[in-house]
Structure 1
């Protein structure tokens, strides 16, 4: 059960047909991210994406205790979406998950599509949609960005955990009560999300304070230009 609560799904928890279905969904989603992400990549975003992926990989290796026998770590979807955008951000998280699975056996190989769907696709999408909404009402300052990152991180982690609940409902291989596992996942991942939110808020606020031009969300969600009419001085003293 600890493999489930840590959100990295192990082999055998979800049956083969459902695992294959979500592997296909993950492949299609990643192809869309590659196509859409090309439009965002430029000389500024490309190296930033590499740094974001490396940072997420490093932080995910640091687990923090949530409950006895249960640990959590940064998923990174919101952090990546704020800094490099949702399309490239999902690719960054997917890359980290693939490397962790193949080199460190963190999450099952047959469950890779399940994990990518939950953490890289679903979590990043939910977090970015919330970021887009919050930045339309909160100030575009390091503090406003930190609040946005914190709230979006908590929500995205819980949403990603409920992605597993759906997958388990479709093809779970053990006898567990669906309402019980849904509430347990939501409760535990709220705590994990708070930890992730603090890390995300600190990171994005620091980058925004030093190099706001490198923050994708600040560039994308600019305030609309003022439409206040500008008085034109009269020519020749005639109004």
Structure 2
């Protein structure tokens, strides 16, 4: 068994078989997004369901020194959701597309990173609400996590509210080592819900705004 086959087997034990692939057709599909530039073809494509699965995946990738490229909606116009060169793992976030909580009193919604701006705003409109920045210029099918990691502007509302990261309150981030951290008020163990990005020491959330997934997922 080759080293890559061993890695594949370890990753397959983390997610169900249908959520991981090394098929040539799948791998080449993930070498493209909405921009026309051809980049690298990954070795493995995997779809985690939560932060714990991401943590286990990144631990293996870190030990084996395998590059990981997070991918949201695949709507990046500048190649950010594709591998720079051949090989590595593409971490497809589309399974993580749920709304976790809506705090109507404080106007804060907590979502998973793979949810699209369209799905989020469709949900919010039932409460007479919407996000100030409605995603990047590439459209409402783009993922919220992708918008944050690209510090996106260009979508509806950006002229008034600025980049989508201006609306950010708190993040749960999986670091390359597999450690999971929370930023802002959520870093305080006594905080039940996120309410303030800057209220608990340095603005660690800012490290991950525009990092393109380099510092964490």
Higher relative contact order, chain-length normalized (CA < 8 Å, sep 6+): 1
Counting helix residues as a fraction of each chain, which structure ranks higher? 1
Do they superpose with TM above 0.5?
no
- Normalising to structure 1: TM-score of the pair? 0.27
Counting strand residues as a fraction of each chain, which structure ranks higher? 2
